Amino acid sequence: MASLNPVNSFGNFDKNRIMRLAECYTNEFDSSKLRDLICQLDSFIVYARGSDRRFVNLKGISDLAKLLVKSDLHQTWPLVYLLIKLTLILPVATPSVEWAFSSLKYIKNELRNSIGDEFLNGCLVCYVKRKIFTILIVT
């Protein structure tokens, strides 16, 4: 993720690391898209480092995503933009999944250890989304 950081004119840019990150997203990047991403990364970094002064003072990846959308450059490099979006989602998604699994220990204790997956799934949804259920009960 640090390889996409625009600070210091993309000083941490490393195409090999970026490609390894893209390979983790098999649903979004098949083999043909990975080949296209290599080409898009090459042209993107040349453009970002030299052709457009708007890329100079960016503070982070979120600023980069905003600039790409604001300037319609997300259409020029759609795969680079997709990877940037996925990079921005990752820090949010990971704690959400961990929170759901930590909630599981409250639901599946020794007394309920033998319950089926379908019932457990229903209990977990109710526990994780309990604020919604509280609002529905109150109203």
> Tens digit of pLDDT for each residue in 2-56?
777 777 777 678 888 888 888 888 888 899 999 999 999 888 888 888 877 888 8
Q: What distance in Å separates the CA atoms of residue 75 and residue 3, rounded to the nearest whole number?
A: 21
Torsion 103-106-112-113 (CA) sign:
positive
Domain map (residue ranges) of the chain: 2-92, 108-138
Is the confidence at residue 91, as pLDDT, over 70?
A: no
* Contact (CB, 8 A) for 98 and 91: no
* 112 DSSP assignment: T
Higher-confidence residue of 132 and 72: namely 72
Residue 113 — pLDDT band, cuts 50, 70, 90? low
What mean pLDDT do residues 96-109 have?
Answer: 61
Q: What percent of the chain has pLDDT over 70?
A: 62
Q: How far is CA 13 from CA 45, 83, 113, 125, 134, in A?
A: 8, 14, 48, 40, 47
Residue 112 pLDDT exceeds 60: no
Looking at the chain, how many residues does it have? 139
Q: How confident is the model at residue 63 (pLDDT cuts 50, 70, 90)?
A: confident
